[in-house]
Structure 1
């Protein structure tokens, strides 16, 4: 039992090997050259004590439910500087995405610099301290046991529900054209009929059950234009998620002989079954093929270039202000260099006031003040979704954001 923590590092290595040999590409998260360079530098020099969080613990045992963001914020004043925290522990954690419950972290503050290690100073690998444990039975997949960067529950719904498309793509999407027995509203378990090919200018692709064609679809409605708060430019359209459907039969045509003896082709729409219904569906709602499921990494970090912009909308039309763990749409995307994991500082717009101490009653604007932090978790060409991590006062449409540094 006394060598139990010596085995934790072995378990971590074994998990990494299992993930790679099993072909779990979701575990092969990329590490940028910049992150490597920062980590290597910090591994050699450590972090100034002034950069540590005021209440940074001398030691900490990683627990189930922890996130990399929370652990980084526990030791450093700025949680997005995760590559530096990784660099403080470069010998023991060679991949910052792979930290496991049970690993124990020790903070060494000798020589006026801080380093973070997975074992006490002076303790050799394979000779850890004595740990008292209680017997228990547990079954889990090692490949899925690593501590995530963010709480998956906070963003999982938006990975499956949120959709930003351009107008042309949405108009060409297959749509529900009829329901059984003349029903107006559709719910889970109902059967409906859809078409992907039309004679108008927005002709799309027919729905087909042929090999290689998608069978699972998401159902959307009302593509709402998202406009840049400053320029008024339409940056994209956000569609309302309604549920999910499965394609049972593809579109086809049937030859029919009329009373006059002439043969003509009748259009037979595709058949779909409603599998999930967040809201009731109806004729005219659109279908978008279900994308492959991604297990993504969100290593928090500041953008490498200066980025600034504004909040375009708050996900969920019933709310005006975004609090912690709420999602916003921002007017910068992949074309602007935004990536998953980029942390941005939310600014509260300075109030416009009249200077009553000036006889001319001059109009002045107070400086923009920092209001919180958000992390980008999904990017599109011109827009991105970001999760509010912390905020002093509710963020609203039009609020600005800048680099967190």
Structure 2
């Protein structure tokens, strides 16, 4: 069932009667109910679907609770589909329960802050496994593998895909010190319909469906005529749609890009 958001909007319609002698203005307010329903276009859904199905963000707290591979039945360096793996720290495991296998990638940090201040880690998808024997270690069968799976790889329970396609498009009232902290898949610059990570999440009031503006930072240049230094203003270069929110970071889809988008570009309220 599709969700429909009803917004009660008070529209003031000016019914103006000008009386030339007294210049009287009569204002008559009316109340209208406006139905607004926004469904993300199918093209954009296809672009972000694999990001929804595979975990890409792992918080430091989650890492402490994740299971990890200590060995495999073949005693080989890497395993593939059909291999048995031995996993420790796999709490709440149940027979036939499915897990995602991943390795930790880049750390997401705020710009210009202590390098130890990590917001989250990239979770690089390796494959999936299913529990066969519960114990310490727990035994799992690898059911799929798209990359090499080795000792130390982490496991996270597979979550049900219940991502809704309907969005209530809106913007936050204010946003401070927000930046693009990562471009997924290790690219240096991106454009329209690509994914970014911003350094704001639910703790900062960010919500799914938020529309945000991307801006280039101010630049200091030298006026060659007067030899004075001049600060160029921030420049709007695109827009973002937030589609998945975590505590300290969020995923967003670039819906407009007038110029290449880079890491640490500024994110503002439209």
Of 87, 104, 116, the match for 1:222: 104
SS in structure 2 opposite 1:273? Answer: strand
Aligned length: 247
Contact 2:172 2:206 in 1 (8 A): no
Q: How many Å separate the matches in 2 of 1:355 and 1:162? A: 48
- Which ranges in structure 2 are unaligned for 5 or more consecutive residues? 14-32
Report the counterpart of residue 123 of structure 1 in structure 2: none
- Distance change in 2, residues 1:390/1:300 (3 Å): farther
Report the counterpart of residue 70 of structure 2 in structure 1: 177
Q: How many Å separate the matches in 1 of 2:224 and 2:142? A: 63
Of 200, 218, 240, the match for 1:374: 240
Report the counterpart of residue 94 of structure 2 in structure 1: 208
Report the counterpart of residue 401 of structure 1 in structure 2: 267
SS in structure 1 opposite 2:159? Answer: coil
Q: How many Å separate the matches in 1 of 2:82 and 2:258? A: 44
1:340 aligns with 2:208: yes
Q: TM-score, normalised by structure 1?
A: 0.56
Q: How many Å separate the matches in 1 of 2:179 and 2:82? A: 41
Of Structure 1 and Structure 2, which has the larger fraction of its residues in strand?
A: 2
* Cα shift at 1:324: 1.1
Of Structure 1 and Structure 2, which has the larger fraction of its residues in helix?
A: 1
Q: Which of these two proteins has the greater Rg computed from alpha carbons?
A: 1
* Cα shift at 1:306: 1.3
Contact 1:195 1:206 in 2 (8 A): no
Q: TM-score, normalised by structure 2?
A: 0.82
- Distance change in 2, residues 1:312/1:30 (3 Å): farther
* Cα shift at 1:223: 4.6
* Cα shift at 1:354: 1.2
Q: Once the two structures are superposed, what CA deviation does each residue of 1:170-210 show, in whole Å capped at 9, x if it has no partner?
A: 1331111111221211222322221226xxxxxxx26333x
Report the counterpart of residue 133 of structure 2 in structure 1: 249
What is the Cα-based RMSD across aligned positions, in Å? Answer: 2.4
Q: Once the two structures are superposed, what CA deviation does each residue of 1:88-145 show, in whole Å capped at 9, x if it has no partner?
A: xx4xxxx725xxxxxxxxxxxxxxxxxxxxxxxxxxxxxxxxxxxxxxxxxxxxxxxx
Q: How many Å separate the matches in 2 of 1:298 and 1:349? A: 33
SS in structure 1 opposite 2:128? Answer: strand
SS in structure 1 opposite 2:150? Answer: coil
Greater relative CO (CA pairs within 8 A, separation 6+):
2
Contact 1:373 1:388 in 2 (8 A): yes
Runs of 4+, deviation exceeding 3 Å: 147-150
**Residues 147-296 of structure 1 mapped to structure 2, 5 A cutoff:** 148-149=40-41, 151-196=44-89, 205=91, 207-209=93-95, 215-232=97-114, 233-251=117-135, 269-296=137-164
- Which ranges in structure 1 are unaligned for 5 or more consecutive residues? 1-18, 20-26, 46-85, 98-146, 198-204, 253-268
